[in-house]
Structure 1
């Protein structure tokens, strides 16, 4: 019998309930109803001695159905179903494979027996969605593994494999045939709720709490999770369960949880190409990277770790040899730490080449040279001579016109952008930049390549700065305007860090180096309209050799390696001089105004990007800004933030930045941005 994604069948004297609800067997309302029906049949049939719950395909249960979180609760509720499993007089077992996460693990904890196949991943990652487990996870888990381990697992959202779960006591057995082993273990009832929480050393509890608070940056969900786990040791089970549920419901209604759910769906939507670009990707096994600098080295390492055969090309023999040694050392270190499989190094599929002919076999050639249009066009002219027909030719440019780069070749239809973020081995974001002339399947090839690297690939159209740098440039420019208008760098940084950014824009500028933006501005100087507002503070600092951390001073002084408490007299002098030259009457800016202006600049630019087709969907902009530019994830990105604002107040914020910008300001279509369907 099959109902709502759950199939019931009898094997001997055991009732097997197989959840078949692709893609992750989520615990949707029909599945929950099917479980209730399973329990009714189990209780009514005297021939059955117990039941086993398992999952079809490669997954046990990936968690709750998050689509339901924005709707009124639909019975039966998961906590009620799990209480029914525990109350059932006959034993119920969980046979797990693939993943048992969130509500899936909570269901397993309510069972009498838990068996997992090797490699199964188990966890309660609710805090990453701004929630806590809401169906008994905070009360049952400590009874199996103790307070310290439960605080670590629930407070950080950590996932463990079946073997580690067995060592912790979460799993009774690890077996290749989980279903068979679970059936064999069915015996007397073993209700987890009836167990006492094992005693734990105070130091262990304090260490686990501290680790969770640090990992979760003290967000409300983490604090609520830790409190709920502590309740398991001090409250009767039913009372702890009620407190957990109340905390879960309060968090579920919070803006933070809504923002994190938005990001969850936005990240998954980002991998889906628009209908007009869906085509079979080209086969890519061999990759050539042009340029053995920092970025080229990082891209080569990422490709090697993903199993590609890599040619690293650079005409400077010394740089090439040093890059090869660095790559081998990095990969050996990561293999020793268990972060990559040792077989990736035996043999290392890396060729170091100083001759262009070495790139000929590559299916994908990635240019990672100096960010200068003339230099990149020259490199692409050489790539065109040596790359095989049908090879994908990619540029790692951060903001240059890809069509202008492609025009240096005889095959512009094979050129696309692959904008990696530094460090390329760490940053998950990859902007895949398509052009109007691209051949069918080229965008799909770029997206597939990024996904094989383990990146979060986001499609962009060809436009200055693509999505990320264009939005960030608008944000940074508005922050520079605020210097002339009355704020000091440390005030801007403090306001935005309090909002949730890891670093403010001027701290970021110092870290990345002011000379990068200085060179870009110099390249644009000849075509810049004199009527456009321009803040020369960065130029003045660079002209004095203040290029950021690497020179010991930028917007801040770094004497002794530590950032000064605030901007010094040199910086303040440059700001005051710029304000005087413009005729600005500086005034103190409140932190709240700083945040509103900075974010309004992002939102307005996002609206323009969506209208121009540079972004395929509004949520892609949020994904890029969260993963590439430090926008706080718990705010959901600039578009999600804008959707939580009063529309009239947001329009007034745009008025503010329009007045601050003056000539050349373009107002984005907010209605388009704010009404586009959320994925």
Structure 2
């Protein structure tokens, strides 16, 4: 009995005349060195084996390839590089089909664009999100996407960083065909066999001629001016545009070398290091010990105590997340001011053409205000945002303790006062937690979740659930100064 064979990150199997190349590097088939090497080896096998007439690239598991292995960034490169793997695919003398059933992002889409034909299944998601990490597509993405999609749509895809679904990708020219179902191998084999029956040629993306270079460059100038205004101080967006300009003006190989040089500059930039750190930090902070211990409490109605800048900002965040909100203020004048603070945000969006008056009316229908704590007896979650004074806050929490139903979550937005003391003003310290929003609360992404000693695990889990619904980045903090 020998040792069990080691699972390969890239497997090959011959199905009739088609070599099926499966990328199997869980969880998301990231393009680490073993995958890049596996792809190069598989293409050599396809080239030299006379029985192989076409190649099918598929991903195992949930994704096609969800991107480069960002843990390798900033470390010495280990060959083969991703541009070399992409070139091996594109240069193959037999037709190569990529069948995309899940995420094909970043380097994953660059691999797919190096294939000669692309098929997408309904759950496919295609994008070049490098800009979000302070990078640009560095393995031909800025050269191949414009050839497949056209200059402007490709540049906008790279500048926005958001993926597109299968239908949008077909319309954009990023894929050639849609298939039903979830079985990428079966759909891919059917398509590859059909291409063979038609004697379909090898179709290299690099050979597509960019139509009307003068118009393309004019479009890029407009995008450049808009981008310079919008992404002030960010390094990689303008570099993306320069790379697409190179795609229009230089021969493919020269433009590819230019793209690589810009990519390496981005990798070396402190912005990239900061954005990658933030990427991992966001994933890290979302992992909470309490979430494993307890499920969040159900909540659909929220009360906000205080209608100042902070109270109004939190109210807008809650309304935008779909909750019904009751605002409590001390007198009619403060109530009117609180409502005005909330409406001002939506009126600003209407003025910019980003919201209709009807949409505002629909949101404000979920907003009520009152001067009486008795009106919030049945709400599921209360956030206090009154003046930063311990005695004032304790008085508020004694009132909440008196009126709120059992099981309501009682949160304080204090930035530095002792939450333990606030919790001890109630008979239910297990329900009291800190939710520290940053001003303006409807815009700032960060939400500190401050965990006092007596709070129960399901309340902490509820706070993280609220952050998720409000699209905030939650950070767990202990009770301490600042």
CA distance, structure 1, for counterparts of residue 479 and residue 298 of structure 2: 23
Residue of structure 2 in register with 1:569 after alignment = none
> Which has more helix, going by share of residues?
1
Give the C-alpha shift of residue 248 in structure 1: 2.2
Alignment of 1:238-387 (within 5 A): 238-273=253-288, 279-286=293-300, 287-314=302-329, 316=331, 320=335, 337=354, 352-387=369-404
1:106-144 CA-partner distances (Å, limit 9, x unpaired): 112111223335575433232333332221112112222
CA distance, structure 1, for counterparts of residue 181 and residue 365 of structure 2: 36
Give the C-alpha shift of residue 194 in structure 1: 0.9
Change (3 A) 1:30 1:401: same
Residue of structure 1 in register with 2:108 after alignment = 104
Which of structures 1 and 2 has the larger relative contact order (alpha carbons within 8 angstroms, sep 6+)? 2
Q: CA RMSD in A?
A: 3.6
1:235-268 CA-partner distances (Å, limit 9, x unpaired): 2212222222233234323444333322222222
Aligned residues: 460
Residue of structure 2 in register with 1:193 after alignment = 206
Alignment of 1:635-646 (within 5 A): none
Change (3 A) 1:16 1:272: same
Change (3 A) 1:355 1:255: closer
- More displaced, 24-33 or 14-23? 14-23
Give the alignment's TM-score, normalised by structure 2.
0.82
CA distance, structure 2, for counterparts of residue 261 and residue 241 of structure 1: 24
CA distance, structure 2, for counterparts of residue 428 and residue 369 of structure 1: 21
Residue of structure 2 in register with 1:647 after alignment = none
Give the C-alpha shift of residue 69 in structure 1: 1.4
CA distance, structure 2, for counterparts of residue 346 and residue 20 of structure 1: 46
Change (3 A) 1:198 1:118: farther
Alignment of 1:366-515 (within 5 A): 366-465=383-482
Residue of structure 2 in register with 1:49 after alignment = 54
CA distance, structure 2, for counterparts of residue 66 and residue 312 of structure 1: 44
Q: Any conservation in 1 of the 2:13–2:21 contact (CA below 8 Å)?
A: yes
| SS in structure 2 at match of 1:70 | coil
| SS in structure 1 at match of 2:80 | coil
| SS in structure 2 at match of 1:243 | helix
1:487-533 CA-partner distances (Å, limit 9, x unpaired): xxxxxxxxxxxxxxxxxxxxxxxxxxxxxxxxxxxxxxxxxxxxxxx
Change (3 A) 1:355 1:175: farther
CA distance, structure 2, for counterparts of residue 181 and residue 318 of structure 1: 66
Residue of structure 2 in register with 1:603 after alignment = none
Q: Any conservation in 1 of the 2:148–2:205 contact (CA below 8 Å)?
A: yes
Give the alignment's TM-score, normalised by structure 1.
0.60
Residue of structure 2 in register with 1:668 after alignment = none
Change (3 A) 1:296 1:13: farther
Change (3 A) 1:326 1:116: farther
Change (3 A) 1:191 1:364: same
Q: Any conservation in 2 of the 1:138–1:232 contact (CA below 8 Å)?
A: yes
Change (3 A) 1:368 1:36: same
Change (3 A) 1:438 1:224: same
CA distance, structure 2, for counterparts of residue 376 and residue 215 of structure 1: 41
| SS in structure 2 at match of 1:211 | helix
Alignment of 1:507-526 (within 5 A): none
Alignment of 1:196-215 (within 5 A): 196-200=209-213, 201=215, 202-215=217-230
Residue of structure 2 in register with 1:61 after alignment = 65
Change (3 A) 1:372 1:26: same
CA distance, structure 2, for counterparts of residue 124 and residue 320 of structure 1: 47
Give the C-alpha shift of residue 16 in structure 1: 4.4
Unaligned runs of 5+ in 2: none
Give the C-alpha shift of residue 66 in structure 1: 0.8
Give the C-alpha shift of residue 403 in structure 1: 1.7
Q: Any conservation in 1 of the 2:118–2:176 contact (CA below 8 Å)?
A: yes
| SS in structure 2 at match of 1:26 | coil
Q: Any conservation in 1 of the 2:290–2:458 contact (CA below 8 Å)?
A: no
Change (3 A) 1:42 1:363: farther
| SS in structure 1 at match of 2:474 | strand
CA distance, structure 1, for counterparts of residue 37 and residue 385 of structure 2: 55
Q: Any conservation in 2 of the 1:152–1:211 contact (CA below 8 Å)?
A: no
CA distance, structure 2, for counterparts of residue 161 and residue 385 of structure 1: 51
CA distance, structure 2, for counterparts of residue 105 and residue 285 of structure 1: 40
- Tell whether 2:87 aligns with 1:83: yes
Residue of structure 2 in register with 1:129 after alignment = 133
Change (3 A) 1:9 1:302: farther
CA distance, structure 2, for counterparts of residue 419 and residue 140 of structure 1: 45
CA distance, structure 1, for counterparts of residue 466 and residue 460 of structure 2: 10
CA distance, structure 1, for counterparts of residue 329 and residue 16 of structure 2: 67
Change (3 A) 1:10 1:69: same
Change (3 A) 1:36 1:439: same
Q: Any conservation in 1 of the 2:138–2:259 contact (CA below 8 Å)?
A: yes
Change (3 A) 1:347 1:325: closer
